[in-house]
Amino acid sequence: MEKTDEQFESLQRADRIVYPTAETKAAAYIQDYEAEYGRSIADPEAFWSGVAKELHWFSPWTKVLEWTYPWAKWFVGATCNITYNCLDRHVKTWRKNKVAVIWVGEQGEERVFTYGELFRQVNRCANALKALGLRTGDRVTIYLPKIPEQIVAMLACARIGAIHSVVYSGFSAPALESRIQDAESRVVITADVGYDRGKRIDLKSVVDQAVANCGTVETVVVVRREKPEIALAAPKEVDWENWLEGEQASCEAEPLDAEAPLYILYTSGTTGKPKGVVHVHGGYMVGTYITTKYVFDLKDEDVYFCVADPGWVTGHSYIVYGPLLNGATILTAEGKPDYPNPGRWWRLIERYGVSIFYTTPTAIRLLMKYGEEWPKKYDLSGLRILGSVGEPINPEAWEWYHRVTGGTKPIMDTWWQTETGMILVTPLPCVPLKPGSATRPFLGVEADVVDREGHSVPANAGGFAVIKKPWPAMMRTIYKDPDRYQVYWNTIPHCYTAGDVCRKDEQGYLWFMGRADDVIKVAGNRIGTAEVESALVSHPAVAEAAVIGKPHQTAGEAIKAFVILKQGQPEGRDLIQALKDHVLKELGKIAVPREIEVVPSLPKTRSGKIMRRVLKAKELGQDPGDISTLEE
């Protein structure tokens, strides 16, 4: 069932090239990548404005791009609203009765929304937000499990120009609290419970704890999924159904400046608190629209299934905005890939006739462990395009994914970030694939691999992944922290530095090799070292802490923590468990270290910064490299 390490090695050496089938090629929007790419790069503004013209604008732009390094404005002077393009544009056509969203709950429930129904629900919710006095620019925190209300709430905010901040429902109270406080949200939208492998997760009490310390929050809206219904404290707490009842099903989309913020999404960095990445209506709409269309070759007949949670950027761009902008039929499913059994996703693919499937390397590696017999039970012949995102996909997982889905469907290994908003490096269906490589830049995007000074490195030499020109869906700033935004464009002058290490081969194919900074990727989710360390240090027994990422078979990376205890603290298994529980309480399950080691000291620079790179090298038995700044 599982392949050996040896085979994995030989696959890598083979540098296999997988050509598109005649069928894939014939169907594709883009037939000749090299020619189209060349044209798009010769005049990126012409390319992007051509794309923008496929969408609806209330009033036109006077300038495609205004670039005052490192600040960009796209479609200057235009007015638009992303929800007009996600909804109104479709309900005015035959698509009004086309299925927009099929939702499947963890308990097996199914809910279906046509474009018409989604449009009406969003309008009701938009009117309800207006009734609370919300206006353009106000912030709303959405802390919901993966249920359709999450999508409705996001779109309703966008419709009236309010800025949504979706917080993943796996985060604990202190993490939610700091995100509400930073955004100064007036409204929080949540649910009584979420489900995780059949277990009830009490979300409402997490919100209660978080909101107790958030003076800006006036209203908490609660989606009640369980019977008997939980009690709510009026007038501050309102029931979602009651809240929408009586609201009109029509609400004009607010005409907004193209640069009006659409959302804030918090993501982890190396230092300090999470960064509130800001995306705007106009450019983000253009970027997510065209990448969804070309990368997945999305057509009206497709059923598109992306397994992400809208709590992360993949959900924002490639469950909600990109697919809806294209009028797609979207399947979204609550729950884990192996619950109630490892056939879960394969069964959904058969049941709903999924033709496009977008998942993560972590999930594939998890499913590999259960064996090929699971996908073999189902008819997966409806699939035509596959996707992968979040971390490098190792060739072994790539080959498995390719084989169990029929051996002919191309895998789009899409590289991007919360900050980039849209896919930047990716194959298109017509591009020959090399398993393990995200291949080439998307149209209009100039990507390169450079040294610290910004000079391109020779083919196959490792370096830093950079983007050399602005693109429409790029983040506009870090909320309340413009200095932190500028770091992305100043680290290597005039380039956007992604923080990834990469290699470009002789054919210009990009091979991403992981993070250059200390950010850890657990199951494709970015975990900042600073947040985990500060959670550990907030435990009374801990004096100092440092965390690193260690390679892990399924999760990609796992967190290992090193802690220095305060004097007189007894070591032992109980303490280790207590520390894990503490991180669980402070941050949530995804941030809990798999290993915790008590140490007498930590490697530091003369200026007192912990050298995680040295810890990591020691842990993995590698050469720590330059240690001239190490204090001892």
Selected from 413, 518, 533, 586, the binder of ligand WT7 by CB under 6 A is 413
Name the residue nearer to ligand WT7 (CB basis): 513 or 602: 513
User: Between β-strands 261-267 and 256-257, what pairing exists: parallel, antiparallel or unpaired?
Assistant: unpaired
Give least dist CB 431 to ligand WT7, A.
14
Give least dist CB 592 to ligand WT7, A.
18
Q: Where are the beta strands (DSSP E) in 508-631?
A: 510-515, 520-522, 525-527, 542-552, 556-565, 595-598
Write the interaction track for ligand WT7 spanning residues 370-389; mark x where CB under 6 A is met and - where it is not: -------------------x
Name the residue nearer to ligand WT7 (CB basis): 314 or 326: 314
Name the residue nearer to ligand WT7 (CB basis): 113 or 511: 511
Give least dist CB 267 to ligand WT7, A.
5
Residues between 259 and 298 that touch ligand WT7 (CB under 6 A): 267
Name the residue nearer to ligand WT7 (CB basis): 127 or 359: 359
Helix (H) or strand (E) holding 5: helix 5-14
Using a 10 angstrom Cβ sphere, with 0-12 exposed, 13-18 middle and 19 or more buried, the burial of residue 155 is buried
Cα dihedral 131, 132, 138, 140 sign = negative
* Residues 436 and 395 sit within 8 Å (Cβ to Cβ): yes
Give least dist CB 180 to ligand WT7, A.
21
Give the residue nearest to ligand WT7 (CB): 418
Segment interacting with ligand WT7, rule: CB under 6 A, options 97-105, 230-238, 415-423, 594-602:
415-423
Selected from 390, 470, 556, 588, the binder of ligand WT7 by CB under 6 A is 390
* Residues 580 and 593 sit within 8 Å (Cβ to Cβ): yes
Name the residue nearer to ligand WT7 (CB basis): 337 or 392: 392
Write the interaction track for ligand WT7 spanning residues 497-536; mark x where CB under 6 A is met and - where it is not: -xxx-----------x--x----------x----------
Name the residue nearer to ligand WT7 (CB basis): 87 or 295: 295
Total residues contacting ligand WT7 by CB under 6 A comes to: 20
User: Which residues, 6+ apart, have CB-to-CB distance to 36 below 8 Å?
Assistant: 30, 443
Name the residue nearer to ligand WT7 (CB basis): 289 or 352: 289
Give least dist CB 512 to ligand WT7, A.
4
Give least dist CB 557 to ligand WT7, A.
10
The tokens describing 129, both together, are 């937000």
* Residues 473 and 288 sit within 8 Å (Cβ to Cβ): yes
Cα dihedral 287, 290, 295, 301 sign = positive
Helix (H) or strand (E) holding 504: strand 496-504
Cα dihedral 462, 468, 472, 478 sign = positive
Helix extents (H) in 453-611: 482-490, 529-537, 573-586
* Residues 531 and 587 sit within 8 Å (Cβ to Cβ): yes
Q: Determine the number of helices (DSSP H) and then strands (DSSP E) in the chain.
A: 22, 30
Selected from 418, 439, 477, 491, the binder of ligand WT7 by CB under 6 A is 418
* Residues 523 and 362 sit within 8 Å (Cβ to Cβ): yes
Give least dist CB 70 to ligand WT7, A.
18
Give least dist CB 514 to ligand WT7, A.
6
Peptide bond into 340 cis (omega under 30): yes
Segment interacting with ligand WT7, rule: CB under 6 A, options 7-15, 74-82, 254-262, 495-503:
495-503
* Residues 417 and 474 sit within 8 Å (Cβ to Cβ): no
Q: Which of 324, 316, 308, 442 is CA-nearest to residue 387?
A: 308
Selected from 192, 237, 391, 533, the binder of ligand WT7 by CB under 6 A is 391
Q: How far apart are CA 78 and CA 62, in angstroms?
A: 7
DSSP 3-state percent helix, strand, coil across the chain (nearest 5): 35, 25, 40
Q: Which of 304, 376, 292, 375 is CA-nearest to residue 337?
A: 375
Segment interacting with ligand WT7, rule: CB under 6 A, options 17-25, 390-398, 545-553, 616-624:
390-398
Name the residue nearer to ligand WT7 (CB basis): 306 or 596: 306
Residues between 444 and 483 that touch ligand WT7 (CB under 6 A): none
Q: How far apart are CA 255 and CA 84, in angstroms?
A: 9
**Sheet strand arrangement including 329-333:** 110-114, 99-104, 329-333, 303-306, 356-359, 385-389, 411-414
Give least dist CB 501 to ligand WT7, A.
9
Give least dist CB 629 to ligand WT7, A.
25
Give least dist CB 416 to ligand WT7, A.
4
Q: Which of 398, 489, 390, 603 is CA-nearest to residue 69?
A: 489
Selected from 392, 410, 435, 441, the binder of ligand WT7 by CB under 6 A is 392
Name the residue nearer to ligand WT7 (CB basis): 64 or 522: 522
Name the residue nearer to ligand WT7 (CB basis): 84 or 489: 489
Give least dist CB 509 to ligand WT7, A.
12
* Residues 387 and 359 sit within 8 Å (Cβ to Cβ): yes
Contact status: 438 vs ligand WT7 (CB under 6 A): yes
Peptide bond into 432 cis (omega under 30): no
Write the interaction track for ligand WT7 spanning residues 292-321; mark x where CB under 6 A is met and - where it is not: ---------------------xx-------
Peptide bond into 235 cis (omega under 30): yes
Name the residue nearer to ligand WT7 (CB basis): 81 or 414: 414
Give least dist CB 281 to ligand WT7, A.
20
Contact status: 416 vs ligand WT7 (CB under 6 A): yes
The tokens describing 460, both together, are 């196959």
Q: How far apart are CA 538 and CA 542, in angstroms?
A: 7
Residues between 7 and 26 that touch ligand WT7 (CB under 6 A): none
Give least dist CB 308 to ligand WT7, A.
8
Segment interacting with ligand WT7, rule: CB under 6 A, options 248-256, 375-383, 412-420, 455-463:
412-420
| Apex 351 CA angle, 350 and 353, nearest 5 | 60
Other CB atoms within a 10 A radius of the CB of residue 311 amount to 22
Selected from 103, 171, 415, 479, the binder of ligand WT7 by CB under 6 A is 415
Give least dist CB 200 to ligand WT7, A.
27
Contact status: 399 vs ligand WT7 (CB under 6 A): no
Name the residue nearer to ligand WT7 (CB basis): 313 or 428: 313
Selected from 414, 477, 497, 529, the binder of ligand WT7 by CB under 6 A is 414
Instruction: Give the binding site for ligand WT7 (CB under 6 A).
Output: 267, 313-314, 389-392, 413-418, 438, 498-500, 512, 515, 526
